[in-house]
Amino acid sequence: MPYMMISLGGVTAGTAVILVFLVRWWFAEGHRWSALVPFVLSFLYGMLAALAALGSWSVLGAVTWVSLWSANVGGWIALVWGVGGTDHNITRAPQLALTSGGYAIVLLLTALLFALWKWAAKVPNWKLAAGAFSGVAVALSGNVAGVAAVPLGSAANLAGAWFTAVFE
C-alpha cells in the first residue's frame, strides 16, 4: 500500500462534511447533544483508523487509503475547478506507534462500528460514514495529527494494555 498524503483539498473536503453535519444538527436535529454522538464517535474512529492503519497492507489500511484518496480528489476538484484556488500537501505524520494491544482495540472498534452500521436501526448509517470519512480526511493534517495522535494513540494503547492483561 503506497504512503498517502493529505492535501489541503482533502482536509477541506473533510472539514466541509463536519460543517454540513453541524448545520444539519443545529437546524434539523434541534441541536440535541445525543444526535452528535454517532457522528463524533465515528469521527474519532476515522482519525484513529487513519493514524493507525493508513499505509499498511491491511483491509483497514485499504479502506482508509480509498477514503483519503477520495477526499483528496474531491477536495482538489472543488478547490481548483470549483473556486479557482490551488492545492498542496499538508501531511504531518503517516502513522501512530501502537502496541499490539492498541491494534487489538482498533480491531474491536472496527467490529463495533460495523455492528452499529448493520444492526443499530436508530443510528443513521450516513452519520457513521460521514463521521469516519471526515475523521480520515483531517487526521493527517499538520495541527490535527499533532493534537489528536497523542491522546488517541495513548488511549488505544492503554485500553489495549488492559485488554491484553485480561487474556495473558
| Residue range 156-165, pLDDT digits in tens | 999 999 999 9
Q: How high is the pLDDT of residue 94? A: 56
Q: How high is the pLDDT of residue 145? A: 66
Write down the residue that cell numbers 443513521 correspond to: 124
Q: How high is the pLDDT of residue 166? A: 93
Count CB-CB contacts under 10 A for residue 15: 16
pLDDT > 70 in the chain, percent: 94
Question: Which residues are bridge partners to 89 per DSSP?
Answer: 7
Rounded Cα–Cα distance for residues 166 and 39 (Å): 30
Q: How high is the pLDDT of residue 78? A: 93
To 10 degrees, what angle do helices 125-139 and 142-167 make? 110
The pLDDT of residue 18 is above 90 = yes
Rounded Cα–Cα distance for residues 159 and 155 (Å): 6
Per-residue model confidence as pLDDT tens digits over 34-92: 999 999 999 999 999 988 887 788 899 899 999 999 999 999 999 899 999 888 888 77
In whole angstroms, what separates CA 56 from the centre of its chain? 16
The pLDDT of residue 149 is above 80 = no
Q: How high is the pLDDT of residue 70? A: 94
Contact 39, 127 (CB under 8 A): yes
Rounded Cα–Cα distance for residues 79 and 77 (Å): 6
Contact 61, 1 (CB under 8 A): yes
Q: How high is the pLDDT of residue 1? A: 42
Instruction: State pTM to two decimals.
Output: 0.90
